Structures are given as structure tokens and as C-alpha cells.
A and B are shown apart, each in its own frame.
Chain A
Amino acid sequence: MKKMSFLLLIASLILLSACSSNTEKAATTTDSGKKEITVWAWDPNFNIAALKLAKDRYVAKHPDVNVNIVEYAQNDIVQKMNAGLNSGSTKGLPNVVLIEDYRAQNFLQAYPDSFHDMSSSIKASDFADYKIGPTSYNGKQYGVPFDSGVMGLYVRTDYLEQAGYKVADLTNIDWDKFIEIGKAVKQKTGKEMLTQDPNDLGLIRGMIQSAGSWYLKEDGKTPNLAGNAALKEALLTYKSLFDANIVKMNADWSQFLAAFNSGAVASVPTGNWITPSIKAEASQSGKWAVVPFPKLKNVPESVNASSLGGSSWYVLNSDGQDTAADFLKETFGSDQELYQDMLSKIGIVGSLNAASSGKAYDVADPYFGGDKVYKKFAEWTKQVPKVNYGLHTYAIEDIMTVEIQNYLNGKDVDAVLKDAQGQAEAQLK
């Protein structure tokens, strides 16, 4: 009997250890001798579509490489990356991953040895200046800057005409003028000027970056809320939008899309990644125009350009990193023709400087009334002020959303910023 139980114990231990020591096949080579790399990204209309173009061009030159593209929601990628990297194993993680610029420093600093140094594969100075801050750490360039996130103000020309305005009246304006026009549009057409989700402070982020300011100081760690002139002006502007009664509320992404696809709002101030979604509503072709993002009136540093939620590519330190680095180097890192392709086929404005001109940029888009909107975006990309997003964008944003609710309900703006500063200091140790 003793023997039996001992045997069973051993057997169960073997069973247990078999679960853990199951060695997965390395991601580098498949049975046929082909090298294989896996790439994770979100947004099928934008990032995944760009990846497919890049893959086709790369595989044509390197038939021995297989590029495996996997689509996940951005939140899922963040979760899987955190769980995987935290466990200290890169098994089950991709070779190349797309990370939002707001979160990049968080990953680079939390898992310092997990990312492949790309300094020798790409030249940082080849890309838009404001993208370098988030994608580099300790003097090394880790990310390959991709989606510029450059902002524009998408406007409905037909609604504006009904209210007596032309596109020129909205070009290079400040937010006060925007509100003034918004009121007129609301009065004449009954349509709201824009739509906002109270949980998403993207508009405020766009406003403060247009003035070269952020929630955190230059070090990326110290909260910079109380006494931040640009942030205060952004809050005042945000409240004016609500007080003017020109904001249609939405509660999530699909309601946000529905707000402009259904024709309920007259403008969308956001990142250029929204272009495919705007154009998704074919019946509104010719009714849209794009003008520069408005600036803050009382902040002298503010310019008519900003960025919202851009993202970049990263290579993980694991088997196959050299192939992965080479893939990025030859595609998003340097291939100007690829950028032309991405622009003409998908409408993506990248952040590679050398790719910001060319035939594709000169094409007039009938959806936007025959305007060369991509040339405009490329131009604005060069003007976006550089800021350090640091480590805590979303943590601070959660503190700010609460305080902004209080502010909209009548709390004094200076008290709002002071309280937010206090909370942020207590929390971000």
C-alpha cells in the first residue's frame, strides 16, 4: 500500500511538473525552416491595415520570413504584455508590439530589459521630433515612431453654411471663436457642435499639448496641475463648451462614432486616425472639411497643432528579435513607398519625416471636397509641440475626471486644480 501511494504521489508530481516544463517551440523557426515573427496591434482599419501592407512588401523581399499579424483590442494587449513581462517569460508574447505613446514610458521603465534597443536600426532624427520623447529611454531609442496622432478639426461644411460660415472662418481659430461659431450652428441647425464622453479627457490633452504643456513636469513624474496656466485655460475652455450648450454627450466609442456618422454633430476635433471612420459614412461625401486644431486663446505658447493618442512599434527582447528589428527597419523605419501606399490606400499619416511628401500627399480627396487634407496633416505634424508624457497620464486623468465633474458643477477652477494636485501627489509616489 505504501508503495502504491508513493507511486501515485510521484505520478501526480510528474503530472504537475509536466504542466510547467512544457517547452514551447521557439518563435523563430517553423518546421519548414522559415523564420516567423508575430506582431500584435489594434484597430483593423488603421494599424492592422498598415501592417498588412508592410508585411506584403517585406515578405516579397524576404521570402524566408513569415509575418504573423494578430489583432487584439488595445486594453487586451496592455494586459497580456503586463502579465507576460511580469512573469519574466516572453513565451506567448509577440516579437513586435504596438504601444500607445501615453503608455510607452511605463513599459520601458517597468520592464527595462524586455525591449530591444533599436538605436542601430533606425535614426531617431528621421522622425517627428515630438515622437522621440515617449519612445526613448536612458538615451536609447526603443520605439519605431508610427501613428503621428496629429490632430485636426473635422467640420461639416453644409451645417456651417446654413449658419452663415465658410471653412475659412474656422481656419487657424482659437477655442473662443469655435464656441461662438458653435452657438450659431446650434441656433440655425439645431445640431450640437461636437460630442464628448465625460470619461475621456482627450480634448483637454490635445489642448494642453498644443501649448507644449502636460499633466506632469519635464521629469515625467512630478504632477504639474496647480499653477499650470495651459491646463487652467483648457479647463475654462472645456466648461465654456458645456455652458454654451453645444456638446452632445456620448458614453463610449461606438456612440462617439454614431454621433458624427449619423450627422448629429457639426465638428470632430480629434486625431487623424479618425479619418477612416469619418469616411466610413459614404453618404456624407463632400460634406466634410479638415482645418487646423484650434488653439488656446490666452496662452501665448499655444499653436494650431497637437497630437492625440499616437502609437509606435516596439521589438521584444526574445528569440527572433533580430528578424523583428529588421522587419521594422525595412518597413516603418525607412520605406517611403510604404508610407505612400499607406496614405493612398488607408489614409495614414505616419511620423517619418522623409515620407511627408510625395505623390500621395498631392492627391485631392473628394470626400473632403477635393482638398489635399493629407498634405495639411503632414504639415501640422511638424508643428506639434514636444512634451514628456511620463508615467502617469491615465492615473492623473482619473483624478482629473472627478475634479472636472466637480468643476462643471460649480467648484472654483483654482480649487479644482489645487485638489487634483494634492491627490496626484499623494497617489503617485
Chain B
Amino acid sequence: MKTAAPKMTTTRLKAGMTGWLFISIAVIMIAAFYFYPMIQALILSFKTGTGSNLTFNGIDNYKRLFTDSMFITAVKNTFIYLIFQVPLMVILALFISVLLNDKNLKFKGFFRTAIFLPCITSLVAYSVVFKYLFSADGLVNSLLLNLHVIGTPIQWITDPFWAKVTIIIAITWRWTGYNMIFYLSGLQNIDSSIYEAARIDGASPIRQFFSITVPLLKPIILFTSITSTIGTLQLFDEIMNITKGGPGNATSSISQYIYNLSFKYSSDFGYAATVSYSIVIMIIILSIIQFKVAGEKK
């Protein structure tokens, strides 16, 4: 035993070295391209000034967040999207995936593709299309007018309320299919014998949905809610391309505010970094809450 011990350590050491060898390139790359910029951005968030004339100003940038009405509006807007869009999309995706999982449904492949396609189209292209669909004399308005649902055209993009609705419709259209794919794969992992047993016991389809499907899909629902929350907090392209944050700041998002601070206004990169870190903090807090509410107890 005594003689074997040092040999064991060398072998373990060798094995350890080989392991490190394999991951060393990845570690260096991650350190250089992920952690270094993150730390630089954190340092930048304590500086102020325009362009490259930056000076340290302690936590003033973080204090400024709480008095900055544009930032507060952007946060409010982002949370309005979050509160309405994430549950809407998750429920819709769940509903559609259950329908599409039906064994008796024909043209399953066509429907699945059709609903999944939006999330692989170009963000800019679809935003531009949406802008035209929802413009004052666009397709949506003429359709609604012809069906006599409305009397006067809705100002989808130039009215503060309807502009928010347009954004929510746009992101729901794009991301529902993405979440649906996760639910479909989850549904296919549920053993059909469970449903058979439930049917024999006389459970209605609705009861089956709430008592079997939803509980068994819980981890996937958690996953999609968290990724959707993160996605919504980083919402940028749709806002930038459909409404540019307008009218007024009615649809501006936090990410768009970061863009404005950096490139539209007077290049305040320090404060823009501070706003970016505020998103990081919000995502961490929301993810913890979601894990606590829906996560598995260990």
C-alpha cells in the first residue's frame, strides 16, 4: 500500500494534466473573449465622460439610474412586455404543442414548420414586414376596416398604447414557435401509457392536460420562462426597427436605451455600461425567483 500511494498520485496528476490540456484552449478563449470584456464593462460602468475622455466617478452612475426618468420608463416598458408577453407566449406555445402532438392530426409536419419558421427569419426583415402590416394604411387596418371591426384606422405604431400592443404581437409571433419545439420534445418523452391509464380511470382531456401534461412538463416550462424572460429583458431589434422606441418613449426598452446612450446621444459609454449591468442584476434576481417558484425541490 505504501509503495502504491505515490504512483496513484502521479497517475492522477497525469490524468489531471491531460484533462487541463484538453480544456486549456477553451479556457483561454473564454477568458479572453467572455470574462475580459465583462470585467472591462464593469470597470467602464464606474466611469463618466464622452467618447474616450473618461474619468472615474465612483458609484455616481448607479445613483443616476434611480433618478433617470428615461431609464425608469424603459424599465417599466420592458416589464410590461414581460408581464404580458411571457405568460401569453408560454401558454400559447403549450396549447399549440399539445394540439400538434395529437396522433390523429394530418399535415403535422407542415403545421410544425409553419409555426417554427418565424423564429429563424431575419429579425430585421420580419420587423420591417410588421411595420408595414401595422402602418396606418397597412394590411391589418384595412382588414379590420373591411370586416367592420373598427370604424377608423388604429394608429398601431404612432399611438403609445397600440405601439406596445404591436411590439407584443410581433415578439409573440416570432418566439412562440421556438418555445413550442421544446414542449413538443417534452411531450414526446411522456409515456403514452400514462394517458391510457388516465382515460381508463375516466379523466377528461382537460383534466389530463392539467394533471399529467403540465406537471410533467414543469422543468421545460421553467426553462422556457427563464429564457423568454432573459430574451425580453434584452429586447432590442423589434423596438429599434418597428417603433424606434416611440412615440415619445412609449415603447423604448432597456437595451435600446443603451444603444441611444452610446450612439444616438453624446457617446456616454460609462453610463451605458452601468445600464447594461442593471440588466444583469435584474436577470439574476428574476431567475432566482423563477427557480424558487417553479424549480424542483432538492
B265 contacts A by Cβ under 8 Å: yes
Select one of A9, A106, A112, A423 contacting B267, CB under 8 A: A106
Across the interface, do A86 and B248 meet the contact criterion of CB distance under 8 Å? no
Q: Does B32 contact A (CB under 8 A)?
A: yes
Interface contact B21-A86, CB-CB below 8 Å:
no
Check A198 against B246 for contact (C-beta < 8 Å).
yes
A5 touches B21 (CB 8 A): yes
Asked whether, in the complex, the Cβ of B262 is within 8 Å of the Cβ of A13, the reply is no
List the A side residues contacting B249 at CB < 8 Å.
398, 401-402
Q: Is B234 an interface residue (CB 8 A)?
A: no
B52 is contacted by which of A75, A78, A88, A395 (Cβ under 8 Å)? A88
Of all chain B residues, the one with the shortest Cβ separation from A426 is: B67
CB nearest to A11 among chain B residues: B25
Residues of A close to B131: CB separation below 8 A: 251-252
A395 & B157 in contact (Cβ 8 Å cutoff): no
Within 8 A of A (CB), among B35-88: 48, 50-53, 64, 67-70, 73
Hey, which chain A residues are within 8 Å of B267, CB to CB? 82, 86, 106, 110
Contact of B211 with A by CB under 8 A:
no
Cβ contacts under 8 Å, B18 to chain A? 1, 5
Cβ of A8 within 8 Å of any chain B Cβ, yes or no, is yes
Q: Within the complex, what minimum Cβ distance (angstroms) separates B266 from chain A?
A: 5
What's the Cα separation between A423 and B260 when bound, in Å?
16
| Residues A5 and B14 in contact in the complex (CB < 8 Å), given A198-B246, A401-B249, A402-B248 | no
Question: Which residue of chain B has its CB nearest to the CB of A264?
Answer: B137
User: Nearest CB to that of B269 among chain A residues?
Assistant: A86
Q: Would B260 and A199 count as touching, CB distance under 8 A?
A: no
User: What residues on B are CB-neighbors of A398 within 8 Å?
Assistant: 70, 245, 249, 260, 264-265
Q: Report whether over half of chain A's contact residues are helix, strand or loop; otherwise say mixed.
A: helix
Most buried by A among B14, B53, B157, B262: B157
Is B28 on the interface with A (CB-CB < 8 A)?
A: yes
Are B70 and A399 in contact (CB-based, < 8 A)? Answer: yes
Q: Map CB proximity to A onto B249-270 as digits: 1 under 8 Å, 0 otherwise.
A: 1100000000010111111010
Complexed CA–CA distance, A251 and B242 (Å): 9
- Which residues of chain B are near A13, meaning CB under 8 Å? 28
Distance from B231 Cβ to chain A, minimum over Cβ atoms (Å): 23
**Does the CB pair B17–A2 fall under 8 Å?**
yes
Indicate if the CB atoms of B158 and A249 lie closer than 8 Å: yes
Interface: B142 (CB within 8 A)? no
> A405 contacts which chain B residues (CB < 8 A)?
160, 247-248, 250
B20 part of interface (Cβ distance < 8 Å): yes
**Cβ–Cβ < 8 Å partners of A394 in chain B:** 260, 264-265
Q: Is A85 part of the contact surface with B, judged by Cβ < 8 Å? A: yes
A162 at the interface (CB under 8 A from B): no
| Proximity bits, A231-270, B CB within 8 Å = 1, else 0 | 0000000000000000001011001000000000000000
Q: Per a CB cutoff under 8 Å, which of A4, A16, A251, A252 touches B21?
A: A4
Would you call B218 an interface residue if the criterion is a C-beta within 8 Å of the partner chain's C-beta atoms? no
Tell whether B136 is near chain A: CB-to-CB under 8 Å: yes
What is the bound-complex CA distance between A13 and B155, given in angstroms?
A: 57
Bound-state CA distance A255–B68 (Å) is 33
Among B28, B64, B265, B269, max chain A CB count under 10 A is at: B265
Which residues of chain B have C-beta atoms less than 8 A from A110's C-beta? Answer: 50-53, 266-267
Is there an interface contact between A8 and B21, defined as CB atoms closer than 8 Å?
yes
CB distance from A390 to the nearest CB of B (A): 9
Interface centre among B53, B158, B269 (most CB of A within 10 A): B158
Let me know if B244 is at the binding interface, CB within 8 A. Answer: yes
Q: Do B52 and A111 have beta carbons less than 8 Å apart?
A: yes
A395 to B70, CA, bound (A): 10
- B135 on the interface (CB 8 Å rule)? yes
Q: How far is the CA of A326 from the CA of B84 in the complex (A)?
A: 58
The CA of A79 and the CA of B259, in the complex, are separated in Å by 9
- Taken together as a complex, chains A and B put the C-alpha atoms of A392 and B155 apart, in Å, by 30
A109 at the interface (CB under 8 A from B): yes
Chain B residues contacting A86 (CB-CB under 8 Å) are 51-52, 267, 269
B24, B68, B155, B247 interface centre (most CB from chain A within 10 Å): B247
Please give, as numbers and ranges, the residues of chain B lying within 8 Å of A401 by CB-CB distance: 246-249
- Name the distance in Å between A244's Cβ and chain B's nearest Cβ: 18
A78 smallest CB distance to B (angstroms): 5
* Contacting pair A5 B24 (CB below 8 A): yes
Query: In the complex, how many angstroms separate the beta carbon of B255 from the nearest chain A beta carbon?
Result: 15
Contact assessment for A391 and B266 in the assembled complex, using a CB-CB cutoff below 8 Å: yes
Q: Give chain B nearest CB distance to A103 CB in angstroms.
A: 9
Please, which residues of chain A bring their CB within 8 A of the CB of B17?
A: 1-2, 5
Per CB-CB distance, the 8 closest pairs between chain A and chain B, nearest first, are A110-B51, A199-B246, A402-B248, A395-B265, A405-B248, A110-B50, A5-B21, A198-B247
Chain B interface (Cβ within 8 Å of chain A)? 14, 17-18, 20-21, 24-25, 28-29, 32, 48, 50-53, 64, 67-70, 73, 131, 135-136, 155, 157-158, 160, 243-250, 260, 262-267, 269
13 examples of A-B residue contacts, CB within 8 angstroms: A5-B24, A8-B21, A12-B24, A107-B51, A109-B51, A199-B244, A199-B247, A391-B266, A395-B264, A395-B266, A398-B70, A398-B265, A401-B247
Q: A12-B25, A88-B52 are in contact. List 10 more A-B contacts (CB 8 A).
A: A12-B28, A86-B267, A86-B269, A111-B52, A198-B248, A249-B136, A251-B157, A391-B266, A392-B266, A395-B266
Q: Chain A residues in contact with chain B, CB under 8 A?
A: 1-2, 4-5, 8-9, 12-13, 16, 75, 78-79, 82, 85-86, 88, 106-107, 109-112, 198-199, 249, 251-252, 255, 391-392, 394-395, 398-399, 401-402, 404-406, 423, 426-429
